[in-house]
Structure formats: structure tokens, C-alpha cells
Amino acid sequence: MPTISIEQKLLSRLLAQHGLQHDVEQMAIQLPLLGTDIDTCDENTLDIEIFPDRPDLLSGETLAKAIRPFLHGAKSEPSLDVITGSIRMTVDAELEHIRPVILGAVVRNVETGRTEQEKDEFIKALMDHQEKLHFALGRGRRRASIGVHDLAKIAPPFRVQAVPSSTAFCPLAMTEAMTLDDILTTHPKGIDYAHLLEGMTSYPIIFDSNNDVLSFPPIINGSHTTVSHTTKDFFIDVTGWDRRACESSLTLIALQLQERGGIIESVEVTGYDGTVEHLPHPEPIVHQVTQRLLDGLLGRKLTDEEISSAINRMGGEYLGRKPATEFTSLKITKMSDVVEGDTILTIAMPRWRFDILHPIDLVEDVAIGHGYEDLGSDVPKAPLTAIPRQDSQIRRRLRESLQGLGLMQIQSLTLSNDVDQFEAMRWPPMGEVTRITNPITIDHTLLRHYLLPGLFRLMASNRHHDLPQAVYELGTVIRDHKNSERFAFLIAEQGGGFAAIRGRVQALLRDLGAKEYTIEPLKGTMGPWLTGRCAKVIIDNVHIGCFGEMDPAVGAHYELRVPLNGAEFDIGALQSVLPDPV
């Protein structure tokens, strides 16, 4: 999750502009309800993790706008104050297949700070907000990329054209002109984001009326448009492929500058298809949710006053209710369907609330805004008799045996990565790997094939504790895109050699009722095992798992310098060869 650090004095100043008093203790208690996880909250600094569904909280300024109604009961402002501007931007028809969504806005008279230090802090916060939006909404600039420019250094009107790779300009952090080819192959930002333009023969460039280059989206801005201590007026461009992500990014940057006293001016944008828009759009987006859905999920019927208060706390506006007379279908196929006789609740939410995708999101906002403490209670209306899992008995027996051997059960994440699963453990993938399409961190890019890497990670996090440490996990792995049940254990102890781990495995097999089994040496160097001090267990010619001492080289990867031994077994294979005594 993105983490932001905000000076408490900045929040105090932003709230004081609206006649509100900043309360650090109130922030620490109530702010987590808004969709954050507070790391530090003292008199000087607020460090918080922002949940992925609330990208509108990724700067101190937009956070301050959100907490005014939420913490202080101020009237919400779902509309954006925008005055009509005279600046125009035209988009070449070729951009349809290169980077079709092009948006722009102007913000004037921004208060960037009184001292040099405050101005530096503002510029850093602005750039930090950009990069976090690139991550949260732009998916690494693929869906949306943002450029912020000093309006005083450029000459409108602007035009966006498709140009050949031989086009040259002086990019940010450089002193000489470079061709687009050179930027993509030698400039640090070009190297990082060249893959976004892979396969293209023409590239997007934003020019001003003097033919100077403002930006080469989504790679880098021109050097002469850089925001500095003297910048008061800003031009914002957002380009990409996802209209919602681009519009939210544009609005949030403009909102950040508006909170600093800026005045937002619209920009007339003529798109690649000739359509003309004045951006950013000031009006909120109107959503609807049925009273039946709201009452059914929250467990009680809220009055109009309660709904209005709850939605106001979340930054929106409750517009009232009306009967669903225009809907005649009486067949409900999903919870959000509207049928004749329903009551429709109409709610206006800000355009920058990117997370409002479905009526259920409005129900969640009402619940958060109202508070969970006095919502209704309910009981099941029909008796539901549970059916035990087919492997429930063997899992119970495994837990009892492993806990009897002195091991503690843990539960690690199903998400993992190639390094932990395969490279560090020296295991190959067992079938196809199920990968995450848009991972939010490099640590969580795939669904695990093995359990032992998670136990190694846990041991690494607890290496400052005394020995011995002994943990086990019964969990799901995903191989060939199908679930499979396994269990593993890992022990860190002085003198824990092969005899010790063999004794534990034999005790486990005895507890499970395995009367005849074979323990054979493992050959080769595959896996985390120490060569010559590892083995596999075979019952009725079925390979059920491996155990042994861990190679110190594998432990060193996790900064573990103590003797380790462990095992990993297939529960399905065990179940197939061991009779169920129950």
C-alpha cells in the first residue's frame, strides 16, 4: 500500500483556512475508519498507509479536504470550483492509436510557501503525489501519466502530435537536446518506461505555440517547464488509455493545488476525433442505490437524515429518494437490480472518488459514514447444516500430531514471488504458475507452489528471538491453476541434525497410523536440502514428501545463521495411502 508522510503543521494550516482546529488525538482514533492504516501519529508528523481503494487521500491537501467533513462535520464539497479559461489544446488524429486520452487543466495563484524550505517541501509533495497516482491509478503510467508545468514558461495554445523518433528536445534533468530514440535508450526515465511505447513508430509530443516541447508522455517533461520556487501558475496534462484513471488523476492534482489557494481554470481540449471538452469537469457524478439493498446489507432502515449525514461525512451529497416507477421487470438476478416498487436513493459523489464503481460501494460509504456501532443484527432465516471437508480428519490428526511435537501453527500469505518460491529454494515450478496481472508489490507476484518459503520468511522476521523455534503450516498451494493442500514445518535449533528431523517425521507417521513406509535418500541438489542429509518418504509406492537439514546457503539468503531442518508433504497424497480411522 502507498505510504505518505504529512507534516501536522500543514494539516493545521489547511484546516485553519476553513475555521477548523486540528486535533492530533482525534486523527489517530478516527482516521483509520476513512481507509487508512496509521504508522505514526505524533505532534509533528503523520505517517499513514493509504488503502488501494482510496487514491484520493494520497496527498496532505486532498487528505485535508476529506477529513473536514469526516472528522469535523463540515459541509462536503463534491463539486470542483472551476472557472472558464481561454487556453486551448488540440490533439492530432494519429493519437487515437498511440495515446488516445489527452486531458488538461490550469491552476493559477497557488500559495507554494513563504520560505525557501516551505517551497521545497511543496515541490517535493507535488512530485510525490504525482508518482503515487502513477502507481495507484496509472498502473506504472500505462493507464495514466501526469505532467505538471510552470505555465509562465510556456506559450499556449498547445497541441499534441505524433512525431518520429528523430525529434529532439532537452528533457528534464539534462542540459542538451536528445532525440526520442536517445531518451528511450539512455535517459533513466526513458529506460524505465520505454516498454510503454514498444512497437510504435510515432510518439506523442505536447508542443506549445513556440514549438517548444512541454512533454513526451508517458516518459518525461521538457526541462524548461520545470516547477520552481517562483512558480505560481500551473498547467497540468494527463495522458493515457483509461479515461476514468486519467480524469481522476487530473482532478486530484488540480484539487491539491486548489487546497493551496489556487484557482482552477478549464482548458478547451479538442480530441483526436474532433470532440470538444472543457476540462476538468466540475460537477459530481450522480449514483443510485436501492433502499432494499441498503437496508438488507446494513440490517436496519436508515432515515433520510442519517443517510445524508453519513454521505456528507464521506464527501458526497444525498439528493433524496424516489419510487422506481420506470422499472417494470420483476425478475431479480443480482442484489443491485431495480424492480418496480423499489425506492431509489440518489447520491452525488466527487469525480475524484475513483473507488465508486457499483451500488455496493455506496452502501459501504453509508456504513462507514454512519458508523458500525448501531447497525442492526440478524440471524440466519434457514438452517444450514455444514458438510465436513473430505480432508478434515487428516488435517485434524496432522495438527494434533505436529502440536504434540512442540510446533506452533502459523498461516502465511498465499501470494509470493519467483525469488522466494523457486530461486532461493532451488525448486522448479511444479506445473504452470498462476501470476498476478497487476501486482502492487514485487513481493506478491504469483500464487505459491510451496509452503516452506513462507516459513523461512517467518523465521527471518523472528531471528532476534531465542532458540529453539518450531513452526508449521497447513495451507493451499496453486499448481497448474488448481488448489492443492500441503503441510510443512521448519525448526531452528542448536544440534538439530538429520537424526532429529528423521525422528520427528517417524513420530508423525506413527501418529497418522502409517505402519509400512520407506525412507529413501534424496539425490541431486534440487530443493533447499543439504546434500546427503535429506530424504523422501514413500508409502505404497506414492511419494508423499521430503524432509532433511536445510542448506546453510538457503538460510543465508534469509539472513538465518542457525541450523535449520524441516519438511514438506502433500496432504492429498497422504490421504490416498492412509486409511481414515473415523
Euclidean distance between CA atoms 230 and 119, whole angstroms? 9
HSE, side-chain direction, 13 A CA sphere, residue 316: 31
In DSSP terms, 495 is beta-bridged to none
**pLDDT at residue number 328:** 46
pTM comes to 0.70
**Cβ atoms of 560 and 460 closer than 8 Å:** yes
CB environment 538-552: b (16+ within 10 A), e (fewer): bbeeeebbbbbbbbe
- Candidates 313, 312, 315, 337; CA nearest to 327 is 337
What DSSP string runs through 486-512?
A: EEEEEEE-TT--HHHHHHHHHHHHHHT
**Cβ atoms of 239 and 217 closer than 8 Å:** yes
* Residue 146 phi, psi (nearest 5): -120, 140
Residues of the chain with pLDDT under 70: 1, 326-340, 581-582
Euclidean distance between CA atoms 416 and 448, whole angstroms? 6
Q: Cell 497424497, residue?
A: 573
Euclidean distance between CA atoms 426 and 534, whole angstroms? 14
Q: What tens digit of pLDDT does each residue of 75-99 get?
A: 999 999 999 999 999 999 999 999 9
Instruction: Report helix, strand and coil shares of the chain as percent, to nearest 5.
Output: 30, 25, 40
Domains contained in the chain, CATH given? 3-72 (3.30.56.10), 82-279 (3.50.40.10), 285-370 (3.30.56.10), 392-577 (3.30.930.10)
Give the three cell numbers for residue 248.
Answer: 481522476
In DSSP terms, 178 is beta-bridged to 169
**Torsion over CA: 431, 432, 434, 435 (sign):** positive
**pLDDT at residue number 330:** 46
| Cβ count within 10 A of residue 379 | 4
What DSSP string runs through 216-237?
A: ETTTEEBGGG---TT---EEEE
Give the three cell numbers for residue 12.
Answer: 493545521
